[in-house]
Copies of this chain bind each other. A is one copy, B any other.
Amino acid sequence: MNCAIIAVGSEMLGPTRLDTNSLKVTTALEEYGSAVIRKAVVGDRLEELVNEIRFSLDQVDVLITTGGLGPTEDDMTREALARALGLDLVLDQAIVDRIEARFAQRGWKMPEVNKRQAMVFVGQQTLTNERGTAPGFHLEVRGKHVWVFPGVPHELEWMLATYFRPWLHERSGGQARWRRVLKIAGITESGVEEKLKPYYEAHADEPPVTILASPSAIEIHLAANGDEATARDLLAIRERELLDLLGDRVFGYDDDTLEAVVGRLLKSRGETLATAESCTGGLLSSRITDISGSSAYYMGGAVCYTGAAKTMLVGVPSELIAAHGEVSEEVAIAMARGARERFGTTYGVGITGIAGPTGGTPTKPVGTVHIAVATPTDVEHRKLFWQGPRTIVKWFSTQTALDLLRKTMLRTG
């Protein structure tokens, strides 16, 4: 099944934004063995959009469009499709009512322009959007399929899961490409590559594993084609081989994040956590609380951007700060212990460092970060040095803190 994707929106033709939605669509298609043979980005101009739709549809069986379904004049995916495919549009009062109700919930009146979003294709399937005001569509014209989705990422994701994947699943007859992703922290991409040498040698005749590096993890992608049971069996065997080489550096699988893995561990053990952050400025607590249900194990945190705040909120003695400096192993440990004691939790995490770009000294350059994890009986410490912009130093500091907490818990489990 050959597919094409069109992303609609002039903003993606400028120098600042890319069409990232196509990756979500491609991921779904890949799983069911369908190939994308072209992708295009077009602006909010009716004629070009009509041309693009016709040209794409000439070459493929399935066309997916994202974006251009908003309420304003420059949202013209609906009109372009109607013209390119020879379909008629009509106002659907039920959708007007739905959109009005969404606005009313916030105490607002629906602007008149939003009625554009209630225009639907006569004789075609309208896809209710529970995440936003713009419905999507599944059009079937002359044996070809056109899926029309909104461009807002979380709306698109919901629609792919609700309508598109089930359809792909049915059409594929159970044959698909199955994936397993192993997620790794605490080691570089080339370090992973080195560790995998024996694996490469043992499986030189198989499709190679893919290693991808992103800020949130190093990922190893395994894939197998076929029916689910056979493919999953093979993947389980390969995964075991990789785990033998990588050990507890593998923190999770597939959609796991470090904060979700740490959260699951805490929850399953009935343990609790508190944090005290300086240079990460609340990013650690924000990541922890991105997880639904985190209030069961996360009691809270202190963001101590000054020495006085470290003393006030988590009881770091001012003499200790005077003796060792705010950025020191001693202060990180006192913060972790203080958080643990003040909040009455099983674990406490303390982070102090210099995120930059200013504030560095010859002995403590920008990027120096001390991280500590306090347990009921002990304390762990890591000193880091990350080069990069401020937000990257913050990110990798929280990444290291979460991974240190995870490993500490596993050792004491």
Residues of A within 8 A of B (CB): 10-16, 18-20, 22-23, 26-27, 30, 35-43, 45, 48, 51-52, 55, 59, 70-74, 102, 105-108, 111, 113-114, 131, 154, 188-191, 193-194, 208, 210-213, 275, 277, 279-286, 288-290, 292-295, 298-306, 308-309, 312-313, 342-343, 355-359, 385, 387-392, 394
User: In the assembly, what is the distance between CA of A113 and CA of B195, in Å?
Assistant: 12
Residues of B within 8 A of A70 (CB): 189, 213
With A15-B23, A289-B282, A387-B105 known to touch, is A190 a contact of B392 (CB < 8 Å)? no
Q: Could you tell me the distance between the alpha carbons of A134 and B288 in the complex, rounded to whole angstroms?
A: 33
CB < 8 Å: which of B35, B42, B154 contacts A392?
B154
Q: In the complex, A300 Cα to B313 Cα: how many Å?
A: 10
Chain multiplicity (copies) = 2
Task: State whether A299 touches B292 (Cβ < 8 A).
Answer: no
**Residues of B contacting A59 with CB < 8 Å?**
48, 51
CA distance A390 to B358 in the complex (A): 34
Write the nearest CB–CB distance from A184 to chain B, whole angstroms. Answer: 14
Contact between chains at B210 and A106 (CB < 8 Å): no
The answer to whether B43 and A40 have CB atoms under 8 Å apart is no
- Chain B residues with CB under 8 A of A391: 290
The reply to whether B292 and A281 contact each other, CB–CB distance below 8 Å, is no
Kindly report which residue of chain B lies nearest to residue A102, judged by CB atoms.
Answer: B387
Complex CA–CA separation, A302 to B74 (angstroms): 44
What CA separation (Å) do A308 and B70 show in the bound complex?
44
A356 to B73, CA, bound (A): 34
Complex partner residue of A194 from B27, B105, B111, CB under 8 angstroms:
B111
- For residue A174, give the distance in angstroms from its CB to the closest CB of chain B: 20
Is A40's CB under 8 angstroms from B39's CB?
yes
Given contacts A392-B154, A394-B286, A13 and B42 within 8 Å (CB-CB): no
Closest B residue by C-beta to A42:
B38
- What are 14 of the A-B contact pairs (CB < 8 Å)? A12-B39, A15-B30, A39-B40, A40-B41, A51-B59, A113-B190, A282-B282, A282-B284, A283-B286, A290-B394, A292-B358, A299-B309, A300-B304, A300-B313
On whether A292 and B15 interact (CB within 8 A), knowing A282-B283, A282-B285, A313-B300, the answer reads no
Q: Smallest distance from the beta carbon of A247 to chain B beta carbons, Å?
A: 18
User: Please, which residues of chain B bring their CB within 8 A of the CB of A358?
Assistant: 292-293
Which of chain B's residues have a CB closer than 8 A to the CB of A387? 102, 105
